[in-house]
Amino acid sequence: MFVIGITGGIGTGKSAVAKIFAEKGVCVLDADAISRKVTDVGGSAIEEIREWLGDKAIDARGALNRKYISSLVFSEKTKLDRLSAIVHRYVLSEIAESLRQEAEKSTKIVVLDVPIPVKNGFLDVCDQVWVVESDVSVRLDRLIERGMEKEDVLRRMSLQMTPEEYAELADVLIDNNADFDALRMQVEKHIKEQLHERGIRI
């Protein structure tokens, strides 16, 4: 089974690249979606978060109380880091289990859409890492269009790896400064170059 990890900073468009693969019928494991799952009602991370932060951290439905958590962790980086570590552990566990299941089914290719390229559970399970990059101004415009505040976007960018650090991890670099059609053309090109020569047709 060939595993491609897609990563990049906020607003670069890594999920758009993953969407192109999904449209071709490729199994895509979305770390953000899994993160929401493990912190939703009945999620595997809920009880550990409750034990650490108390009942206020969990809402009436039994899901993560995101408003309370935001007020708490974004003012204290150490708490944000600890929360991230808890959630990431459960997310990576889910990804590992999903990869095991896909391997049992003899799936030829799986794509991981992961914003934070951790070593254990991501880099060490990927055959290739595809990094999506965009200019800061382009990323800002995209995220503001989605309803985010400029200051919030810049703060989140400052907490992530630099573009240079992302690029150093790349087996394939994708420039996403243009429109979706241009992005699709690039992805199609890399699919032919990277996958077809390995006998993987999607």
pLDDT computed for residue 81 by the predictor: 81
pLDDT computed for residue 74 by the predictor: 63
Tokens at 85, concatenated: 């570590």
pLDDT computed for residue 89 by the predictor: 95
Query: With a cut of 50, which residues of the chain have pLDDT below it?
Result: none
Number of H helices, E strands in the chain: 9, 5
pLDDT computed for residue 68 by the predictor: 86
Residue whose token pair is 């060939």: 2
CB of 34 closer than 8 Å to CB of 141: no
DSSP 8-state code for residue 197? G
pLDDT computed for residue 36 by the predictor: 96
pLDDT computed for residue 172 by the predictor: 97
Sheet bearing 109-113, strands edge to edge = 27-30, 109-113, 2-7, 128-133, 172-175
CATH class as words, domain 2-195: alpha beta
pLDDT computed for residue 75 by the predictor: 63
Q: Where are the alpha helices (DSSP H) in 146-196?
A: 150-159, 163-168, 180-190
- Full-model pTM: 0.90
CA–CA distance, 39 with 68 (Å, rounded to integer)? 14
CA–CA distance, 170 with 47 (Å, rounded to integer)? 36
CB of 46 closer than 8 Å to CB of 58: yes
* 85 phi, psi to nearest 5 deg: -65, -40
pLDDT computed for residue 152 by the predictor: 87
pLDDT computed for residue 147 by the predictor: 94
